[in-house]
């Protein structure tokens, strides 16, 4: 995972675009290709604009394609791991442990 960020509550388009421009894009190599799903918070024109400013390309997946979206697999794995953690384990710790696993 690159540039993880925890947010209390729901993520909206502005939050996502802030993460994209301030946390993710600085971590990317030049001319990276961003593969996006079609979540309502992924405003296509704004994301393309942000990516273009940094020389990146954006490709959107077909309408519903969880098999092509690696984050869906990560979320499923995180949810499963959470079931077996000791009570009181923070979400921060869960994500840190998951990211540290080879």
- What pLDDT, in 10s, does the model give residues 2-26? 888 888 888 999 999 999 999 999 9
CA angle 6–12–13, rounded 5-degree value? 115
In this structure, the dihedral spanned by the alpha carbons of residues 43, 34, 53 and 63, taken in order and rounded to 10 degrees, is -20
How far, in Å, CA of 59 to CA of 35, rounded?
5
> Cβ contacts of residue 11 below 8 Å, gap of 6+?
19, 41
DSSP state of 76: H
Provide the 10 A C-beta neighbour count for residue 76.
11
Residue 16 vs residue 64, higher pLDDT: 16
pLDDT at residue 78 tops 80? yes
For the entire predicted model, the pTM comes to 0.62
- Model confidence pLDDT, tens digit, residues 47-60: 999 999 999 999 98
33 falls in which pLDDT band (50, 70, 90)?
A: very high
């Amino acid at each position: 995972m690159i540039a993880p960020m925890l947010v209390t509550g729901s993520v909206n388009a502005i939050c996502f675009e802030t993460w994209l421009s301030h946390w993710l894009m600085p971590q990317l190599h030049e001319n990276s290709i961003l593969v996006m799903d079609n979540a309502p918070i992924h405003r296509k024109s704004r994301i393309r604009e942000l990516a273009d400013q940094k020389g990146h390309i954006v490709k959107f997946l077909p309408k519903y394609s969880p098999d092509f979206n690696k984050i869906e697999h990560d979320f499923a794995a995180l949810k499963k791991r959470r079931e077996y953690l000791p009570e009181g384990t923070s979400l921060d710790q869960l994500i840190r442990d998951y990211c540290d696993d080879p």
